[in-house]
């Protein structure tokens, strides 16, 4: 079968890498792809939001399955469009993708069905929001309602920062239409955990857990990013907590979406905080996480294509999904200035050397004009993934490989998986 992946980032590179290993996949295409994906799949110059172009290409090439990577086309209804064109698609409908596309919708869904989350209120009026904000304890969390490339969540530690952020969101419209509505939320304390699941209506198959590192600098300092690194498994989180999160949050949300007439089919991503009162929901995403996918798929033992096809055909209940006991650690190399403005077109060297003992997933890269080399083309440039028997081994390989890669102004966190490493050392 021919498969088309829609997207251009590290998540899509990881998906292509995993799908390329399936004996059932005859040909891989990626629209539009990037400099690294081009080594495994044919990249076609079609933008993610060009639904008609994607449909025309898929029909012409007789694509058997279209896999949607990013959130923007999902929220805009690409799955509905392609299915109406007679194509088989992996991903949720527009109505189901609202669980990520609108934080206000997501929070109201959780409230209605009694699913654990932080206390909150939603505002579109600045004066009312400001009056409420001034009654809240610090720190406080402010969220743009719509999609903001992982940067629409701000934790304010002072009253001045909170009020400035509120004005930026609701008055200055920092994220455009995405910040016309703002969620003001209780700050939760504890360990974060990303728990993704393959979902087909009320059928839920949890993936192994992972942990993301959102702030740009070591020690969780600086502004939030799309993710500076991830690791899996979580040796400091008991399996009973993962099971509890699946039982009290992920499964009830899947059931709630069915009850609301928005059955979810695809990957449901729960961003959780493990509090003293138990797991609570921070966010839901409607697709594979980035960079969580980069550490999850290397641990997947079952053929990814078979899983995606089963979900697209409503057969997930038939699947037996197996995971490796090994570990994976992903370190993200970012452009100078990220998550603010950054240059593009910087030459990258050392990737082949890094791949001696690590996986390198391209996130923001492109081929140079002469097609002979790879250059930077995004904020998060590369995800370097080390694999090993445990976190320590995987982490050592990831950082050793990351050190071999060079481009001007490259920066990355040096403390990815340090919490897990401390837990492993403590158990020895």
DSSP output for 130-194: HHHHTTSPSSEEEEESS--TT--EEEE-SHHHHHHHHHHHHTS-TTGGGGSSEEEEEPP-SEEEE
Query: Residue 354 has which token pair?
Result: 């890094």
Mean predicted confidence (pLDDT) in 34-56: 96
Using DSSP's 3-state secondary structure scheme, residue 274 falls into: strand
What pLDDT was estimated at residue 149? 74
What pLDDT was estimated at residue 331? 98
What pLDDT was estimated at residue 423? 74
Q: Give how far Cα 261 sits from Cα of 95, 199, 238, 269, Å.
A: 9, 15, 34, 19
- Residue 428 above 60 pLDDT? no
Please say whether the beta carbons of 265 and 94 come within 8 A: no
Regarding predicted confidence, which is higher, 153 or 79?
A: 79
- In terms of DSSP bridges, do strands 265-275 and 359-362 run parallel, antiparallel, or are they unpaired? unpaired
- Residue 321 above 60 pLDDT? yes
Mean predicted confidence (pLDDT) in 362-385: 93
Measured distance CA(370)–CA(405) in Å, rounded = 21
The CATH code for residues 2-91 is: 3.40.50.20
What are the boundaries of each domain within the chain?
Answer: 2-91, 119-186, 191-427
Other beta carbons within 10 Å of 260: 17
Please say whether the beta carbons of 342 and 373 come within 8 A: no
Regarding predicted confidence, which is higher, 370 or 138?
A: 138
CA atoms within 13 A on the CB side of 171: 11
Mean predicted confidence (pLDDT) in 123-129: 94
pLDDT band at 421 (very low <50, low <70, confident <90, very high): confident
> Under the phi-then-psi rule, with left for phi > 0, alpha for psi from -120 to 50, and beta for the rest, what region is 386?
beta
Mean predicted confidence (pLDDT) in 124-149: 92
Mean predicted confidence (pLDDT) in 373-388: 96
Q: Give how far Cα 243 sits from Cα of 35, 250, 254, 279, 298, Å.
A: 39, 10, 15, 10, 22
Structural domain 119-186, CATH architecture = 2-Layer Sandwich (3.30)
Q: What is the DSSP string of 69-104?
A: -SHHHHHTTHHHHHHHTT--EES--HHHHHHHH-HH
Q: If residue 115 lies in a helix (H) or strand (E), which one and from where to where?
A: none
The tens digit of pLDDT for each residue in 260-296 reads 999 999 999 999 999 999 999 999 999 999 999 999 9
Mean predicted confidence (pLDDT) in 153-173: 92
| Sign, Cα dihedral of 184, 112, 208, 290 | negative
- The rounded mean pLDDT for the chain is 95
The tens digit of pLDDT for each residue in 340-362 reads 999 999 999 999 999 999 999 99
CA atoms within 13 A on the CB side of 66: 31
Please say whether the beta carbons of 208 and 296 come within 8 A: yes
- Residue 4 above 90 pLDDT? yes
Considering all CA atoms of the chain, what is the largest pairwise distance in Å, rounded to the nearest integer? 59
| Backbone phi, psi, residue 6, to 5° | -100, 120
What pLDDT was estimated at residue 169? 93
Give 365's strand partners: 376
Please say whether the beta carbons of 366 and 377 come within 8 A: yes
Could you tell me the fold of the domain covering 191-427? Answer: D-amino Acid Aminotransferase; Chain A, domain 1 (3.30.470)
Tokens 């082949």 correspond to what residue?
352
Mean predicted confidence (pLDDT) in 119-146: 93
Mean predicted confidence (pLDDT) in 161-170: 93
Please say whether the beta carbons of 194 and 296 come within 8 A: no
């Amino acid at each position: 079968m021919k498969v088309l992946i829609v997207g251009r980032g590290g998540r899509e590179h990881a998906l292509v890498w995993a799908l390329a290993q399936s004996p059932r996949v005859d040909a891989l295409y990626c629209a539009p792809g990037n400099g690294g994906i081009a080594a495994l799949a044919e990249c076609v110059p079609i933008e993610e939001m060009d639904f008609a172009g994607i449909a025309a290409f898929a029909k012409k090439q007789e694509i058997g399955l279209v896999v949607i990577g990013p959130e923007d086309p999902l929220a805009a209804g690409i799955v509905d469009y392609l299915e109406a064109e007679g194509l088989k698609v992996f991903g949720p409908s527009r109505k189901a993708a609202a669980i990520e596309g609108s934080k206000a919708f997501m929070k109201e869904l959780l409230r209605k069905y009694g699913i654990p989350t932080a206390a909150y209120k939603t505002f579109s009026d600045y004066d009312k929001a400001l009056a409420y904000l001034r009654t809240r304890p610090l720190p406080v969390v402010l969220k743009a309602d719509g999609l903001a490339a992982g940067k629409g969540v701000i934790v304010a530690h002072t009253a001045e920062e909170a009020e400035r952020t509120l004005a930026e969101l609701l008055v200055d419209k920092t994220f455009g239409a995405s910040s016309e509505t703002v969620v003001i939320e209780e700050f939760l304390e504890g360990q974060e955990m990303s728990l993704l699941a393959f979902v087909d209506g009320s059928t839920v198959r949890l993936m192994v857990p992972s942990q993301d590192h959102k702030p740009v600098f070591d020690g969780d300092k600086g502004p939030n990013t799309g993710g500076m690194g991830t690791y899996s498994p979580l040796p400091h989180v008991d399996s009973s907590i993962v099971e509890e999160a699946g039982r009290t949050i992920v499964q009830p949300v899947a059931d709630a979406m069915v009850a609301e007439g928005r059955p979810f089919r695809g990957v449901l991503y729960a961003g959780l905080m493990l509090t003293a009162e138990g797991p609570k929901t921070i966010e839901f995403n409607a697709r594979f996480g980035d960079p969580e996918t980069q550490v999850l798929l290397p641990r997947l033992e079952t053929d990814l294509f078979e899983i995606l096809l089963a979900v697209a055909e409503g057969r997930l209940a038939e699947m037996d999904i197996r995971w490796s006991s090994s570990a994976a650690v992903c370190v993200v190399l970012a452009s100078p200035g990220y998550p603010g403005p950054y240059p593009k077109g910087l030459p990258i060297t050392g990737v082949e050397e890094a791949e001696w003992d690590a996986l390198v997933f391209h996130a923001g890269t492109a081929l140079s004009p002469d097609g002979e080399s790879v250059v930077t083309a995004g904020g998060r440039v590369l995800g370097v993934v080390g694999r090993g028997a445990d976190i320590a081994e995987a982490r050592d390989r990831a950082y050793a490989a990351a050190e071999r890669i060079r481009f001007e102004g490259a920066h990355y966190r040096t403390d990815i998986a340090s919490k897990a490493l401390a837990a492993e050392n403590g158990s020895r």
